[in-house]
Amino acid sequence: MTWSDADLEAMSWHDVTIHGLYVQPAEQGMPRLLFDLDYIVRWVHPVPPARTFSFWIAPATLVFDDVTDMVGDVDFSGSLPELMVDELRRVSAEDGSVEPLWHIEGHAFDLRFRASGFRQFIRQPPLLVSQRVLLHSERGGYSFAETAFA
Give residue 123's Cα distance to chain centre.
13
Q: What is the pLDDT of residue 79?
A: 74
CA distances, 134 to each of 9, 21, 28, 131 (Å): 25, 17, 36, 7
Q: What integer pLDDT is reported at residue 10 of this predicted model?
A: 94
Nearest CA to 144 out of 15, 1, 35 is that of 35
Mean pLDDT, rounded, of the chain: 92
User: What is the tens place of the pLDDT at every residue in 64-123?
Assistant: 999 999 999 998 887 777 899 999 999 876 766 777 899 999 989 999 999 999 999 999
Task: Answer for the pair 64, 110: CB distance below 8 angstroms, yes or no.
Answer: no
Compute the distance between CA of residue 122 and CA of residue 2 in angstroms, rounded to an integer: 6
Residue 76 to residues 71, 103, 106, Cα–Cα distance (Å): 17, 19, 11
In a 13 Å sphere around the CA of 121, the CA atoms on its Cβ side amount to 15
Indicate yes or no: pTM above 0.85.
yes
